[in-house]
Copies of this chain bind each other. A is one copy, B any other.
């Protein structure tokens, strides 16, 4: 081995540990209240979508919403909360599908938290929603630590990222219930080994439900949309 390995704790992390404990406790309390509120309103599923920037979360959501809307066998009304530090680009793309959409701009924060969702829920007519999607800020680290009141976190990873992302950012893959490997239409142009990526993810969390799909070509979308539509 011609290299050294040092494991360090950030001085910020150490100093903030104490204050963070109370912040997380408060967040969990609000998340539990969000969860109860969604259940009471009859929202069957709330999916918290997380990934690095550029994995194709919004494109996947747009295709998913279009299918849920256009196929008669689905009787599903879906709404979307979009989280980004800046811009309302994603909510504009979602709104174009006809689904109710709300954009949260977090400014300097690298994740959504339960209090933001609490406020956002007030903007929806929840009685008229079957499914709520929350597209978190593009980040593989911070959103893993925050319960928003969702039924499940879904981690999204594109075939243009490295196969070792689940090993480098394990917490997100541990917290998630499903993994979506996106942009598989590009795999033929890449040195990416999607079996290796999936195996790395399953090493970290063997209970992950895995989907492989392309929002562009449509491959794999049926299985994904059927899973979402199933109660």
Chain A residues engaging chain B, CB cutoff 8 angstroms:
1-13, 15-16, 19-20, 23, 26-27, 52-54, 58, 84-89, 91-92, 94-95, 98, 100-111, 113, 115-116, 119-120, 123, 137-142, 157-158, 160-162, 164-165, 167-171, 183, 186, 189-191, 216
A92 / chain B contacts, CB cutoff of 8 Å: 1, 3
- Chain B CB within 10 A, most for which of A54, A91, A140: A54
The answer to whether A102 and B4 have CB atoms under 8 Å apart is yes
Question: Would you list the 5 A-B pairs with minimal beta carbon distance, nearest first?
Answer: A54-B161, A10-B109, A160-B160, A110-B141, A3-B101
The answer to whether A87 and B168 have CB atoms under 8 Å apart is yes
The answer to whether A160 and B142 have CB atoms under 8 Å apart is no
A92 to B168, CA, bound (A): 14
The answer to whether A23 and B19 have CB atoms under 8 Å apart is no
- Write the chain B residue with the least CB distance to A13: B109
- A140: contacting residue among B6, B53, B162, B189, CB under 8 A: B53
Report copies per complex.
Answer: 2
- A86: contacting residue among B87, B95, B102, B170, CB under 8 A: B170
A161 to chain B, nearest CB (A): 3
A109 / chain B contacts, CB cutoff of 8 Å: 9-10, 12-13
The answer to whether A10 and B116 have CB atoms under 8 Å apart is yes
A-B contact list, 28 entries, CB within 8 Å: A3-B95, A3-B100, A3-B101, A3-B102, A4-B101, A5-B102, A5-B105, A6-B120, A6-B123, A7-B104, A8-B115, A10-B111, A11-B23, A11-B113, A13-B109, A52-B54, A53-B140, A54-B54, A54-B160, A58-B162, A86-B167, A87-B164, A108-B171, A110-B141, A138-B140, A160-B186, A186-B186, A191-B216
A81 to chain B, nearest CB (A): 9
A119 / chain B contacts, CB cutoff of 8 Å: 6, 8
A139 to B191, CA, bound (A): 23
